[in-house]
Amino acid sequence: MPKYLTSLTAAAVLMAAALQPAFAEDKPMERTVTVSASGIAAATPDQASIQTGVSSEAKTAREALSNNSRAMNEVIGKLKAAGIDAKDIQTTQFNIEPVHTYPKEGQPPVVSGYRATNAVSVKVRNLDKLGEVLDQLVAAGSNEMGGISFDVSNAETLKDGARKQAMENALRRAKLYAAAAGAEVGEIVQISEETSFGHPRPMMGGARMAMAEAAPIERGSVDLEARVTATWRLK
């Protein structure tokens, strides 16, 4: 082996030997306690989303579409007349499909017509008019209801109370665990919040609508939940 390679190898061995004690010393494990807790703030919904639309059937696809478009234009017109802003009306479904019937048992189905469906999501910002809006929808020809869901417009601000409650609960539990282990809670090391995208709560299931007067609607209340995970040092 060349002398210069032997020298390099020896130097590497000496360097590894010199560094070995540093790695051999294990750093003492830090004593901590980690707790997850949640807090809840009740809030009254101040807006709602309605899933509604029109389903039309006819012998031909063109006729089904024509009938459906005419009825849907009437529905949208009624919504705007009731004070719903155009930006709060959004199409969520549109399709045309054949309608099948079975002429005789054991025979394959045949196309007897076509069905056109047009559905929209409507945001109602004034819940005092919600029953009236539902009545207007039916009067205008809406025959499909996907449901009603309630929401809180300032949920993020109202949720701050739930966040404070979550931290109070986490600290209380951390002190409980620490005392049971013969220690005390020290300074906070880390706080993280579990984030989730909540969905508005549905109130009514899908059904064909047939109301003769403004429907009574109860908005109830919703629970805004905050969940945190916090770590404290123990002393």
Other beta carbons less than 10 A from residue 71's beta carbon: 20
Other beta carbons less than 10 A from residue 10's beta carbon: 10
pLDDT over threshold 80, residue 3:
no
pLDDT band per the 50, 70, 90 thresholds, residue 217:
confident
pLDDT band per the 50, 70, 90 thresholds, residue 201:
very low
pLDDT band per the 50, 70, 90 thresholds, residue 199:
very low
Percent of the chain at pLDDT > 90 equals 61
Q: For 47-151, CATH number?
A: 3.30.70.2970
Q: How far is CA 80 from CA 58, 76, 83, in A?
A: 28, 6, 5
Q: How far is CA 163 from CA 47, 159, 235, in A?
A: 23, 6, 26
Nearest to 116 by CA among 73, 55, 163: 55
Q: Are 165 and 159 contacting, i.e. CB atoms less than 8 angstroms apart?
A: no
pLDDT over threshold 50, residue 10:
no
Query: pLDDT at position 145, please?
Result: 87
Cα-to-chain-centroid distance, residue 23: 48
Cα-to-chain-centroid distance, residue 187: 35
Query: pLDDT at position 25, please?
Result: 54
* Rounded distance between C-alpha atoms, residue 111 and residue 33, angstroms: 67
Q: Are 64 and 114 contacting, i.e. CB atoms less than 8 angstroms apart?
A: yes
* Rounded distance between C-alpha atoms, residue 61 and residue 110, angstroms: 15
pLDDT band per the 50, 70, 90 thresholds, residue 105:
confident
Output the average pLDDT for the chain.
Answer: 83
Other beta carbons less than 10 A from residue 211's beta carbon: 13
Residue spans of the domains in the chain: they are 29-46+154-202+221-235, 47-151
Lowest mean pLDDT among 48-57, 100-109, 177-186, 214-223: 214-223
Nearest to 225 by CA among 75, 36, 85: 36
Beta strands in 2-141 (DSSP E): 32-43, 47-58, 89-101, 110-124
Q: Are 88 and 125 contacting, i.e. CB atoms less than 8 angstroms apart?
A: yes
* Rounded distance between C-alpha atoms, residue 133 and residue 82, angstroms: 7
pLDDT band per the 50, 70, 90 thresholds, residue 26:
low
SS3 of 199, please?
A: coil
29-46+154-202+221-235: CATH, from 3.50.50.60, 1.20.1280.290, 3.30.342.10, 3.30.110.170: 3.30.110.170
pTM of the model: 0.64
Q: Are 117 and 104 contacting, i.e. CB atoms less than 8 angstroms apart?
A: no
